[in-house]
Amino acid sequence: MSEFHDAPRRRPTQSEAEAAVRTLIEWAGDDPDREGLLETPARVAQSYKELFSGYETDPTDYLARTFEEVGGYDELVVLKDIRVVSFCEHHMLPFLGKAHVGYLPRDRVVGISKLARVVHGFARRLQIQEKLTADIAGAIDSVLKPKGVGVVIVSEHSCMTMRGVNTPGSRLTTSHLTGEVRDDARTRQEFFELVRNG
């Protein structure tokens, strides 16, 4: 790898980000100095800071605190309908949907809000849905070390519904399974039934 790629990348300043937005406004054909657009560069930079906040966190940190007193519970734990707001890395347009996350605990569980935080931590980045699905499953698998993990994401992609093929209502479904959730037919079926009907 070249020295250029090895060197740490300097993050642009807020004013540089705002200047880039001004350039895009001008490129689109409007005047960034007109009244309605005067504050737009600052607003866009601030909203992007929030929408891409996943770069500021390590989502696996949310899984650090676990509970070992599970009373012998060894069945699937599934949290459904976690809101997903992410951005396609190809067009920087949002994809919106829901994630369903489950795992088969071995000897410890995690607070359910932490599962949602893991989803949000990975979602607030530029990416493709397939990688997002795998990243969530991989984090849960590596930190909790459960018997298995299942993640399903269903979302609508603005890059398809607002432009290009213009197909509103079409949704992409991705899944990533590990361990017994993938390899044991009964557990796999139970996971998908809980996601679909639970």
Give the active site residues. Answer: 88-91, 129, 157, 159
> Minimal CA–CA distance to 78: which of 128, 53, 112, 129?
112
Half-sphere exposure for 15 (CA within 13 Å, toward CB): 0
Distance CA 5, CA 111 (A): 39
CA distance 198 to 191: 9
CB 148 within 8 A of CB 103: yes
- Per DSSP (E only), the strands in the chain are 66-67, 77-88, 94-104, 109-110, 126-127, 148-157, 172-178
Q: Quick one: which of 62, 36, 71, 197 has its CA closest to 136?
A: 62
The β-bridge relationship of strands 109-110 and 66-67 is: antiparallel
If one counts every other C-beta atom within 10 angstroms of the C-beta of residue 50, the result is 8
Q: Among candidates 122, 124, 121, 137, which has minimal Cα distance to 174?
A: 137
